[in-house]
């Protein structure tokens, strides 16, 4: 990225209020920037593997369920891209399949999509609660090779 060029942002979006707020702040901070809005989805097959008791109930429907989950992920990413466009960003939607952890999927996507900065909302957890919850923003800050901008949730009235 040159000094004059605006960065390519990877915006983490899960449909939540903190994620929507983070997109609005990113639009304010980086007007006109390119934004890759990413939603990470988990294949049903992975969930079934963790909870073997579900397998007999799903059987051959797993492929159909995965296709539905991927479609839903695309819709969530498109919703995030609409928010990003409304915030003044040149946005595109991307859904990413979870292989191991969400943070690893986001970091891999940032590399694949050429992101200069990863932007994520926070759940406003602190101290031990944050460590126990294993927040995405914390993991990204610890492991990303590109800068991470963690936008705090707006103050509650």
Q: What's the pLDDT at 47?
A: 65
**8 A C-beta contact, residue 90 and residue 33:** yes
What is the pLDDT averaged over residues 134-143? 86
Q: Report which of residues 138 and 111 the model is more confident about.
A: 111
SS3 26: helix
Q: What is the pLDDT of residues 61-112, one digit of tens each?
A: 777 878 888 999 999 999 999 999 999 999 999 999 998 899 999 999 999 9
Q: Where are the beta strands (DSSP E) in the chain?
A: 8-12, 34-41, 90-97, 117-121, 148-151
- Write down the domain spans for the chain: 8-151
Q: What is the pLDDT of residues 104-134, one digit of tens each?
A: 999 999 999 999 999 999 875 444 444 444 5
The pTM score is 0.84
Assess if CATH 3.10.150.10 describes domain 8-151.
no
Q: CA–CA separation, 32 vs 132, rounded Å?
A: 37
**8 A C-beta contact, residue 89 and residue 34:** yes
């Amino acid at each position: 990225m040159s000094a004059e060029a605006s960065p390519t942002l990877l915006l983490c979006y899960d449909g939540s209020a903190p994620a929507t707020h983070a997109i609005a702040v990113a639009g304010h901070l980086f007007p006109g920037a390119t934004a890759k809005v990413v939603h990470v989805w988990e294949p049903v097959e992975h969930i079934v593997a963790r909870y073997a008791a579900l397998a007999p109930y799903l059987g051959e429907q797993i492929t159909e369920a995965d296709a539905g989950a991927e479609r839903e992920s695309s819709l969530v990413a498109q919703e995030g891209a609409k928010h990003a466009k409304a915030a003044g960003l040149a946005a595109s939607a991307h859904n990413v399949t979870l292989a191991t952890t969400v943070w690893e999927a986001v970091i891999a996507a940032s590399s694949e999509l050429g992101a200069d900065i990863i932007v994520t909302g926070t759940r406003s957890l602190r101290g031990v609660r944050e460590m126990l919850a294993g927040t995405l923003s914390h993991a990204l800050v610890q492991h990303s090779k590109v800068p991470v901008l963690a936008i705090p949730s707006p103050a509650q009235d």
